[in-house]
Amino acid sequence: MNYSKQVIGLMGLLTAFILLTMYIALTSTAPIWVEAAQMLSNVSSLQFHVMIDIYLLVLLFCIWMIKDSREQGYSIKIQIIFVFLSVSLISIGVMLYLLYRLTVHTHRERAIVKSLAS
């Protein structure tokens, strides 16, 4: 898949998820922290287990992201920003990192090709 299709696809997914998140936040009957507390209070519920699964996946993603960002040469500031976004906004933070990585990686490749061509 070429670069522009990847970026367009990821931007579309990110936009759709942000809009869904905003809709849920605006139409929810209780603030998100109240709903989270309710889920945490009932450990035998399916919602609790799904929430734990999601945070385990985010933890694994953050471990990979830190390793990957070090290999890519990103600053510690960038690493902290994306870990914070991923832990606080879950999927939105994950997609933002992937979009950032794709964009930076592609710009580096283009710069290398341009320098070799001249």
- Percentage of the chain beyond pLDDT 70 is 98
At residue 111, the pLDDT reads 77
Q: What is the Cα–Cα distance from 23 to 65, expressed in whole angstroms? A: 28
Whether pLDDT at 1 is above 70: no
At residue 96, the pLDDT reads 94
Q: What is the Cα–Cα distance from 80 to 42, expressed in whole angstroms? A: 32
Q: Fill in the amino acid letter for 110.
A: R
Domain residues of the chain, as ranges?
3-117
Q: What is the Cα–Cα distance from 60 to 46, expressed in whole angstroms? A: 21
Mean pLDDT of 86-106: 90
Q: Is 90 left (phi over 0), alpha (psi -120 to 50) or beta?
A: left
Whether pLDDT at 92 is above 80: yes
* The model's pTM: 0.79
3-state secondary structure (DSSP) of residue 40: helix
Q: What is the Cα–Cα distance from 59 to 86, expressed in whole angstroms? A: 9
Q: Give 36-66 pLDDT, tens digit per residue.
A: 788 778 888 888 888 889 999 999 999 999 9
Q: Count CB-CB contacts under 10 A for residue 69.
A: 20
CB 53 within 8 A of CB 85: no
Most confidently predicted of 16-20, 28-32, 44-48, 113-117: 16-20
Q: What is the Cα–Cα distance from 21 to 118, expressed in whole angstroms? A: 47
Mean pLDDT of 90-107: 89
Q: Which residue has the higher pLDDT, 94 or 32?
A: 94
